[in-house]
Amino acid sequence: MDRREIAAVLAYIGRLDPRTIRTGTDDARDQIAQWQELLDDVPFATAHGWDVREAIRSHVLDSPYPILPVDIARRWRAHRRERLDRHTDPTPAADPDDPAAWRAELLRSRNAVAAGMAAPSTHRQIASSGRPRDVEERLREIGSCIPPAIRAELARYRPTRATREAAVAEGVPDALGVRCNWCHAPVGSPCRQRRASPDGTARGNAVRANPHPSRVDLAATLTGRHRAA
C-alpha cells in the first residue's frame, strides 16, 4: 500500500477504534510512515478474497488490543499461504527443454496467485461438476486404450484372450463366455483335455487350443436365445 492508502486505512481504524487516532500533525505523519514501511507489500484489496478492511474489522471484533501493522501483515501472509496451499501448478506452455523459461512461467503463476491477481488452480478432476457418462459411451469415444500394433504383439502371450477377441470381432459366439459341461472349465477359462482311464475316471489337465464342441454349441444356443429375446 502507498501512503494515500495507508492514510485511508488509519482513518478507517480510527472510526472503529478511536484509541488509535493521532491528533498531532507530526504524530500522524510518523504513524503513516511507520505503517507504510511495514505494509508496503500488503495490498489494500485484491480481486480474489482479500480486503484490508475485513482484516481490520475481524481484529477489532476478536481482540481487546489496538490493532498494529504487524497484525495486518500476519493476516495477509496467512491469507496468501492458504491460497498457495490450494494452488496446483498448471503445466507451463513453455518448452520443457528450456528449464529457465519453464521455471519462470511457474514462478509467474505462483506469484499471481499469491498476490491475489489470479485464482488458485485446482485439479480438474476435483473441481469438475460434470456428471459421469456411460461407460459404453466412453469406450465408443476413445476406442481401445491399447494400440492395435501393441495388441497384435500381446496376442502370442495371451492366446486365450486373443481367441476371444477374434471371435467377437468376427461375430462368432464366445465359447469361453459359458461354462464347459464336458471338462467343467469355468467361464473365461480355456477347456482342458480329459481322457478316460481304464478304471473309468477322467485324467489329464492340458489346456486345449480350441474349446470343446459342446461348449461352442452351448454358446451359440445361448447367443441365439439372447438375440431372439
What pLDDT does 141 receive?
Answer: 64
What pLDDT does 44 receive?
Answer: 92
Residue (of 216, 82, 47) closest to 224 by Cα position: 216
Mean pLDDT, rounded, of the chain: 81
Beta-carbon contacts of 222 under 8 Å, excluding residues fewer than 6 positions away, are 173, 178
pLDDT tens-digit series, residues 156-200: 777 777 777 777 777 778 888 889 988 888 988 888 887 766 665
For residue 113, give the C-alpha cell.
496467485
Say whether pTM exceeds 0.75: no
What pLDDT does 185 receive?
Answer: 87
pLDDT tens-digit series, residues 23-64: 788 888 899 999 999 999 899 988 878 899 999 999 999 999
